[in-house]
């Protein structure tokens, strides 16, 4: 496992500056940033896989169908607004 991480000097300076402002140690910032980024990347890859599975299974909506659905929703919302 990675025990050491070499950062470019400019990034290390930014890290030190932010750590000083936030009153936390740089390691905490690195761990949090790395966890957040990994969480995002895992979420993104899962979302892409789910989307691809939908495409493969034929679960798609045409633009025409989507526009019709939006227009119906708008009309229903307008009716409710008038009735209120």
List, for residues 13-22, the tens digit of each pLDDT value.
999 999 999 9
- Six token digits for residue 6: 């070499």
* Axis crossing angle, helix 9-22 with helix 26-56, rounded to the nearest 10: 110
Kindly tell me if the per-residue pLDDT of 28 is higher than 90. Answer: yes
Locate the domains of the chain by residue range. 25-83
Distance CA 2, CA 34 (A): 13
Q: Which two tokens stand for residue 36?
A: 């957040």
Instruction: Pick the most confident of 3-12, 30-39, 74-83.
Output: 30-39
Neighbours of 15 (CB within 10 A): 16
Confidence of residue 2 (pLDDT cuts 50, 70, 90): confident
SS3 82: helix
Q: How far apart are CA 77 and CA 83, in angstroms?
A: 10
């Amino acid at each position: 496992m990675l025990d050491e991480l070499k950062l470019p000097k400019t990034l290390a300076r930014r890290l030190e500056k932010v750590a000083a402002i936030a009153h936390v140690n740089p390691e905490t910032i690195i761990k949090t940033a790395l966890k957040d980024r990994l969480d995002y990347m895992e979420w993104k890859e899962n979302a892409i896989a789910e989307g691809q599975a939908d495409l493969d299974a034929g679960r798609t909506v045409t633009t025409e169908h989507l526009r019709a659905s939006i227009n119906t929703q708008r009309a229903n919302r307008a009716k409710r607004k008038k009735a209120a």
